Chains A and B, each alone.
Chain A
């Protein structure tokens, strides 16, 4: 499966999100936009696919290659209690599903769960007291210091928190996204192979691919982040 992008969402009240909350096709009586449940994704219990039907063309090309409106878009969703990973082929499709469908059917609205990138980077550093299972493979940050000649910094590598550049300058940056990979001792695989997902301070998630094994890894990373409270304080820890 190709690259996917979207968001981690959660209910501010901790209310469980049911499939019926997302499947608005019946209530919409055929009037777009709505979401329709299709099937479990790759036979996995947590993962499901939906179709988003909208009158808006959200493709990359200037003109759609399929007839419409309406247009159909695929959504890949993982639900667990009050939390939801919502992915699509492009982030703007996920955004559209949230603002035009989900925000109009679930009250209080689900909120994007902001990742505390600083804390995640720190938590996944190899020198942390509890050796981390994951490592940081890419970093993007805005400069917070007073030199107007510098705006942003991007770093790519195998274990960035070990690098001198990161260690000496990290306190001067607002990091807004990072790539997370699995820490494999002695492995010689490239960063691209190891990187599981990228996450952003705005709650965004992006993946290069999603297959059976990778989908389990992704939910494990997100679970670890939530368990360690590297997210908004209002997010329920577990079960909710």
Chain B
């Protein structure tokens, strides 16, 4: 079934009680706004060609109609599972972004009710939630509903009640109360809606319960950390809940605060984002990257010499961590995330929360502003985990003493973990040296000095490592795509013009791994060309609001020297290249990276590797939402393509969504 490319708007008007609310379909936003009332709520929907509604037009639902709101479910599962009577002319099917993502209209003539019964019977048998309206001349006259029957809520609610009776630190009281009630609401609502969401929420609750239990030790730092975790989690959970559970039954009483989706919410898009992050987290989580880096302490052979470490090539391209055998007892499970969309936060991640820009819902397939930029936020989680082992804790004086000693040695190190630390130290020292515009003599490098530079440069070092990690694992060595995506994201953030130099450095470092084979001068030359080529189209794009790309091009022109030399941007780049070496040599594994793009559903004879056609809905499964999204990006996407992508990510990766 082929989806129309133009959206219409389903418009609910009036009060949320029977006999006083009306429903209509309007062909465009202007038509909606002209008739807006205080009680109006709307959602964009797209019609299917085979059901005669792919071209938006006004429908007032004259006569007697049955409207069925069904979901979350793959729409193809419906027509694959139910005999719709040869796609009758007296039926329409639209697709939306909400949890009730499939909207069906049937005439109340002789065939309509029978088809309606078959649909509801099918939904009942598969536990797909729905709400059924009988609409007479646009007025809603009857409402009935079916909720999913996920089990186990009583136990969860008992757990929440038990937590509410625990005596936590008084400073946590309000946040704990808010968290418990938010969680109770979200879990009970998700139990009636989606087992995918319900499972995720249970995991988050388990993880937060551990955090709360940790605060009982009385350690004031843990109490503070718990407080921060609760504040962040409550904000994320509140937004997630408002997005995913708006528009579920009773539809007329649940309102989403994204006003363009105020009628049916964005539940389907929330599930898509959840599936994407789950896939990446579980694939990299299973690989236990931080534990692998730690296990390099046991690798004592084939250690590079000091010269090889700082400038050699061969050492970089061996997969040092992919083949390591880890102790099974090590817990590599990654903390489950609450993911949500936010117009204000854009791409952002905290310990257990992750947001993507609201624009992703409409532009998930856009080459520049696609949903895959979320990988940067996920990269933060893994790099933080690795740095937890590699980077010294500011309170650990012993570690800084060890760092100072490591900095002296020009002999081979005893194991590859120390090799990693040495690269980190080299980066810290050259960054400091570059900024200070002087060589740092060895006798100045004490434990205190190491502590000073480690604390000072931590944020920037982490960002460069994250960018390089993101590029190497998720961008298949495609610098133009990476630069375009990351700068388009930055261009959407107002007021960061004063950080352009930092962003240039992050970018050129990230895309440098393959240039590590080059001599420094050739590398500087090459990276300049790559950066300019990738950024020029963005600089030329008049539609971009905050066009930092132009500023970056200008800054680069006056500060980059192919010859290098103190005080130039290229010398700052040279100083940071040790961080790129660190990621390429010890954070990245070709074997593990390939798992991120493995999908047993890949087929031959298709440019994308999938049998699916954009805009056409089928129930063919995919197993890798990351790969699927990556191969379906395009330069000039349609909003309906974004809907198609999100639906496939949400429902074709699970049995639940496929009915």
> CB < 8 Å: which of B81, B86, B475, B601 contacts A201?
B601
> CB < 8 Å: which of A148, A172, A174 contacts B599?
A174
CA distance A189 to B599 in the complex (A): 34
B621 CB–A CB distance under 8 Å: yes
> CB < 8 Å: which of A108, A112, A147, A233 contacts B81?
A108
CA distance A201 to B599 in the complex (A): 10
> CB < 8 Å: which of B472, B594, B597, B611 contacts A202?
B611
A110 CB, min distance to chain B CBs, angstroms = 9
A224 CB–B CB distance under 8 Å: no
Chain B: CB-nearest residue to A115? B600
B594 x A109 contact (CB < 8 A): no
Question: Of A103, A171, A234, which is in contact with the most chain B CB atoms at under 10 Å from its CB?
Answer: A171
CA distance A177 to B604 in the complex (A): 7
B590 x A176 contact (CB < 8 A): no
Residues of A within 8 A of B620 (CB): 112
A55 CB–B CB distance under 8 Å: no
A172 x B602 contact (CB < 8 A): no
Residues of B within 8 A of A144 (CB): 594-595, 597-598, 627
Chain A: CB-nearest residue to B79? A109
CA distance A117 to B602 in the complex (A): 10
B604 x A114 contact (CB < 8 A): no
B536 CB–A CB distance under 8 Å: no
A107 x B83 contact (CB < 8 A): yes
A104 x B604 contact (CB < 8 A): no
A201 x B597 contact (CB < 8 A): no
Chain B: CB-nearest residue to A107? B83
Residues of A within 8 A of B621 (CB): 114, 232
Q: A104-B86, A114-B621 are in contact. Are A201 and B600 (CB under 8 A)?
A: yes
A148 x B476 contact (CB < 8 A): yes
A108 x B80 contact (CB < 8 A): yes
CA distance A140 to B82 in the complex (A): 36
**Chain A positions 115 through 149: 1 when the CB is less than 8 Å from some CB of chain B, otherwise 0:** 01110000000000000000000001010111110
We find that the number of chain A residues with CB closer than 8 angstroms to chain B is 30
**Chain B positions 602 through 624: 1 when the CB is less than 8 Å from some CB of chain A, otherwise 0:** 11100001010000000111000
B590 x A142 contact (CB < 8 A): no
A98 CB, min distance to chain B CBs, angstroms = 12
A148 x B600 contact (CB < 8 A): no
CA distance A146 to B595 in the complex (A): 11
A146 x B86 contact (CB < 8 A): no
B602 x A146 contact (CB < 8 A): no
**Chain B positions 450 through 489: 1 when the CB is less than 8 Å from some CB of chain A, otherwise 0:** 0000000000000000000000100111100000000000
A234 x B655 contact (CB < 8 A): yes
B603 x A145 contact (CB < 8 A): no
A120 CB, min distance to chain B CBs, angstroms = 10
B604 x A146 contact (CB < 8 A): no
Number of chain B interface residues as a range: 20 to 34
B627 CB, min distance to chain A CBs, angstroms = 8
CA distance A191 to B565 in the complex (A): 63
Residues of A within 8 A of B83 (CB): 107
B593 CB–A CB distance under 8 Å: yes
Q: A200-B603, A201-B601, A232-B621 are in contact. Are A145 and B594 (CB under 8 A)?
A: yes
CA distance A81 to B598 in the complex (A): 33
CA distance A107 to B115 in the complex (A): 13
CA distance A103 to B50 in the complex (A): 15
Chain A: CB-nearest residue to B602? A174
A171 x B602 contact (CB < 8 A): no
CA distance A233 to B590 in the complex (A): 29
> CB < 8 Å: which of A104, A108, A109, A172 contacts B590?
A172
CA distance A146 to B619 in the complex (A): 29
Question: Of A112, A116, A146, which is in contact with the most chain B CB atoms at under 10 Å from its CB?
Answer: A146
B591 CB–A CB distance under 8 Å: yes
A148 x B477 contact (CB < 8 A): yes
**Interface of chain B residues 161 through 199 with chain A (CB within 8 A):** none
CA distance A177 to B605 in the complex (A): 11
B609 x A174 contact (CB < 8 A): yes
B594 x A176 contact (CB < 8 A): no
B603 x A147 contact (CB < 8 A): no
Residues of A within 8 A of B82 (CB): 107-108
Q: A146-B472, A172-B590, A172-B594 are in contact. Are A107 and B600 (CB under 8 A)?
A: no
CA distance A125 to B472 in the complex (A): 32
Chain A: CB-nearest residue to B655? A234
CA distance A142 to B605 in the complex (A): 11
CA distance A173 to B136 in the complex (A): 57
A174 x B598 contact (CB < 8 A): yes
A146 x B81 contact (CB < 8 A): no
> CB < 8 Å: which of A111, A118, A176 contacts B604?
A176
B492 CB, min distance to chain A CBs, angstroms = 27
> CB < 8 Å: which of A103, A145, A176 contacts B602?
A176
Chain A: CB-nearest residue to B471? A146
Question: Of A116, A117, A172, which is in contact with the most chain B CB atoms at under 10 Å from its CB?
Answer: A172
Chain B: CB-nearest residue to A201? B603
B81 x A176 contact (CB < 8 A): no
CA distance A235 to B83 in the complex (A): 22
**Chain B positions 77 through 106: 1 when the CB is less than 8 Å from some CB of chain A, otherwise 0:** 000111100100000000000000000000
B416 CB, min distance to chain A CBs, angstroms = 22
Residues of A within 8 A of B593 (CB): 145-146
Residues of A within 8 A of B80 (CB): 103, 108-109, 111
CA distance A118 to B599 in the complex (A): 10
CA distance A201 to B80 in the complex (A): 21
Q: A114-B621, A145-B593, A202-B611 are in contact. Are A174 and B600 (CB under 8 A)?
A: yes
CA distance A174 to B463 in the complex (A): 32
CA distance A118 to B604 in the complex (A): 14
B477 x A146 contact (CB < 8 A): yes
CA distance A143 to B173 in the complex (A): 53
CA distance A72 to B600 in the complex (A): 35
Seen from chain A, the residues whose Cβ lies within 8 Å of a Cβ on chain B are 103-104, 107-109, 111-112, 114, 116-118, 140, 142, 144-148, 152, 171-172, 174, 176-177, 200-202, 232-234
What are 29 contact pairs spanning A and B, CB under 8 A?
A: A103-B80, A107-B82, A107-B83, A108-B81, A109-B80, A109-B81, A112-B620, A114-B600, A116-B600, A117-B600, A118-B600, A142-B602, A142-B604, A142-B609, A144-B597, A144-B598, A145-B594, A146-B476, A146-B590, A148-B476, A148-B478, A152-B604, A174-B599, A174-B600, A174-B602, A177-B604, A202-B603, A202-B611, A233-B655
Known: A145-B593, A176-B609. 18 other contacts (CB 8 A): A107-B82, A108-B81, A109-B81, A112-B620, A114-B600, A144-B598, A145-B594, A145-B597, A146-B472, A146-B590, A148-B476, A171-B594, A172-B594, A174-B597, A176-B602, A201-B601, A202-B603, A202-B611
Sort A-B residue pairs by CB-CB distance and give the 7 closest, nearest first.
A174-B602, A144-B597, A108-B81, A144-B594, A109-B80, A202-B603, A107-B83
